Amino acid sequence: MLAAIAPMQGRQGGGVGPEGLLPRAEASRFASRLLETNAASGRAVAAIWIDVDRFRQLNDTFGHGCGDQLIGVLASRIQSVSPAGSHCFRMGIDEFLLLLTAESVTGTEQLAARIGQVLEQALSVQGVNVHVTASMGLHHSQPQELAERLLACADQAMFAAKRLGGNRFVWSDDDLARVSMGTDQTRRELAVASMLHQALQQGGLSLRYQPVLGMQGTVEAVEALMSCEVGGVAVSPAEFIPVAEKIGLIGKLGEWSLMEGIQCAARLHRRGLPTKVAINVSRAQLLSEGFLAALEGALLCADVPPQSVELELTESLFMEQSSTVQRNLQRIRETGVGLAIDDFGTGYSCLATLKDLPATKLKFDKAFIQCLPDDIRVLAIVRSMTDLAHFLGLVVVAEGVETEAQLRACEDAGLEATQGYLHARPMPENQLVSWLENHCHDH
């Protein structure tokens, strides 16, 4: 049952909210105490100011009684994901403040993202499904910071999030200024991390497909490459994948690209354009016990033969000692899904172990291919590695082929297929369909 909540009058209103929620009047006193305790251990206090978007509209539409019940539900959702030791205050009609000991910038962002997720879950109000979003202001205290400043910074950041259209979190100016005093890289990483959270919450991720062509021009496969665009700004996977790995979002992104890539394979089959779709897989995914179930589930849901899917993994992942990774690799092969050694030539390639890998394909990295045909040492390596790979039953592919001369060098070395701007750039699925239709027509 929902706790009955007395309607509050304006932002300055007091009163105790739903069970466990502390009144606004307590926030400052409590913040002072937490700042003091943390100062002793040199840790910062994290403040997350949460304001429900368009609450007035909900209140006007459904009535104040409903609005109050709604706030009760939202409050318990926030509390359900708040870590032990955090304290939640009701700061206004539709405003909450969470205070806790800061673990890391990423930790606070993940908590804010989690709060955003639970608030967004559908709520039935008078038979109507309502999705609530929130604007959140984040702040980490500095040494000797006063409680008033802590709260003002989080509040100001929440307003900044509102001005940007709501449904997001924003760091306070203080935090951004501090980050800008650090390296530009940290600042950029924070921005990329924010974009990734937004892309996952609001949509902004998509897959682009790049054809891999056999030497006779037939389509050997298409590689699915993730792209991220938020508010008209695009970031390349070369930049956001490492950030996603750092902040623990790579598992989610990988799961999404696996599902989406397999579904694309199914759509291509249904259109009479059966094409193998190659999907990049990260270390975090293969370290997960649930990976195989996710793969099998996706294949089953999409109803595509496993031979239409290939997974691309870096060489170092194949060498990973973890028993979970090795078990996952074996079981992937047992399903009939192909396994390609990606970026070959960039790591510490260990030829001796190549024979034991459960791979079906070897992809030379573009850094290698782009030295062709002039660098005769690279040419010699490509030739002899291709022979060895063939001996082990692997199909050999070159990526990053941009010129006719590179294509000829690959053909001379005996490679089966090539991928690169010479043939086509990665493109969205609708363009790929037309590209495949035209291509099949010509070949």
> Can you tell me which of 236, 307, 335, 434 binds ligand C2E, judged by CB under 6 A?
236
Q: Any contact of residue 315 with Ca ion (CB under 5 A)?
A: no
Q: Any contact of residue 345 with ligand C2E (CB under 6 A)?
A: no
Min separation Cβ 431 and Ca ion, Å = 20
Whole-number Å distance between alpha carbons of 220 and 222:
7
Q: Any contact of residue 155 with Ca ion (CB under 5 A)?
A: no
Nearer to Ca ion, 74 or 295 (CB): 295
Whole-number Å distance between alpha carbons of 324 and 226:
25
Q: Any contact of residue 260 with ligand C2E (CB under 6 A)?
A: no
Whole-number Å distance between alpha carbons of 281 and 132:
33
The DSSP secondary structure of 241-298, one letter per residue, reads HHHHHHTT-HHHHHHHHHHHHHHHHHHHHHTT----EEEE--HHHHT-TTHHHHHHHH
> Can you tell me which of 51, 68, 155, 312 binds Ca ion, judged by CB under 5 A?
312
Q: Judged by CB under 6 A, which stretch of 31-39, 127-135, 237-245, 386-394 contacts ligand C2E? A: 237-245
> Can you tell me which of 27, 31, 241, 277 binds ligand C2E, judged by CB under 6 A?
241
Question: What are residue 236's phi and psi, to 5 degrees?
Answer: -85, 150
Q: Any contact of residue 95 with Ca ion (CB under 5 A)?
A: no
Q: Looking at this protein, which amino acid is placed at residue 217? A: G
Q: Any contact of residue 325 with ligand C2E (CB under 6 A)?
A: no
What are the structure tokens assigned to 11, written together?
Answer: 């932002």
Q: DSSP H helical segments within 355-428, as ranges?
A: 366-369, 376-391, 404-412
Q: Any contact of residue 361 with ligand C2E (CB under 6 A)?
A: no
> Can you tell me which of 342, 385, 386, 394 binds Ca ion, judged by CB under 5 A?
342
Whole-number Å distance between alpha carbons of 226 and 84:
36
Q: Any contact of residue 69 with ligand C2E (CB under 6 A)?
A: no
What are the structure tokens assigned to 337, written together?
Answer: 């899904």
Give the count of beta carbons closer than 10 Å to the beta carbon of residue 91.
24
Q: Are 270 and 301 in contact (CB under 8 A)?
A: no
Min separation Cβ 49 and ligand C2E, Å = 34
Whole-number Å distance between alpha carbons of 339 and 361:
6
Q: Any contact of residue 98 with ligand C2E (CB under 6 A)?
A: no
Q: Map residue 274 onto helix, strand or coil.
A: coil
Q: Any contact of residue 310 with Ca ion (CB under 5 A)?
A: no
Give just the sign of the alpha carbon dihedral 370, 373, 376, 381: positive
> Which strand (E) or helix (H) includes residue 189?
helix 184-202
Q: Any contact of residue 404 with ligand C2E (CB under 6 A)?
A: no
Q: Are 27 and 89 in contact (CB under 8 A)?
A: yes
Min separation Cβ 223 and ligand C2E, Å = 7
> Can you tell me which of 95, 145, 189, 365 binds Ca ion, judged by CB under 5 A?
365
Give the count of beta carbons closer than 10 Å to the beta carbon of residue 370.
17
Nearer to ligand C2E, 109 or 342 (CB): 342
> Can you tell me which of 343, 389, 413, 436 binds Ca ion, judged by CB under 5 A?
343
Give residue for tokens 């955090």.
86
Binder of residue 260, out of ligand C2E, Ca ion, none (CB less than 5 to 8 A by kind): none
Number of residues forming the site for ligand C2E (CB under 6 A): 23
Helix axes 55-62, 64-81, angle to 10 degrees: 140
Residue whose Cβ sits closest to ligand C2E:
420
Nearer to ligand C2E, 142 or 206 (CB): 206
Binder of residue 218, out of Ca ion, ligand C2E, none (CB less than 5 to 8 A by kind): none
Binder of residue 257, out of ligand C2E, Ca ion, none (CB less than 5 to 8 A by kind): ligand C2E
> Can you tell me which of 38, 59, 167, 257 binds ligand C2E, judged by CB under 6 A?
257
Q: Any contact of residue 418 with ligand C2E (CB under 6 A)?
A: no
Give residue for tokens 């750092």.
246
The site map against ligand C2E for 367-386 (x = CB under 6 A) is: --------------------
Q: Judged by CB under 6 A, which stretch of 134-142, 174-182, 351-359, 393-401 contacts ligand C2E? A: 393-401
Binder of residue 67, out of ligand C2E, Ca ion, none (CB less than 5 to 8 A by kind): none
Min separation Cβ 302 and ligand C2E, Å = 16
Q: Map residue 127 onto helix, strand or coil.
A: coil
Cα distance between the two ends of the chain: 66
Q: Any contact of residue 74 with ligand C2E (CB under 6 A)?
A: no
Whole-number Å distance between alpha carbons of 414 and 412:
5
Q: Are 172 and 137 in contact (CB under 8 A)?
A: yes
Q: Are 110 and 48 in contact (CB under 8 A)?
A: no
Would you tell me which residues interact with ligand C2E (CB under 6 A)? Answer: 210, 225-226, 236-238, 241, 254, 257, 280-282, 312, 342-343, 366, 399-402, 420-421, 426
Would you tell me which residues interact with Ca ion (CB under 5 A)? Answer: 280, 312, 342-343, 365
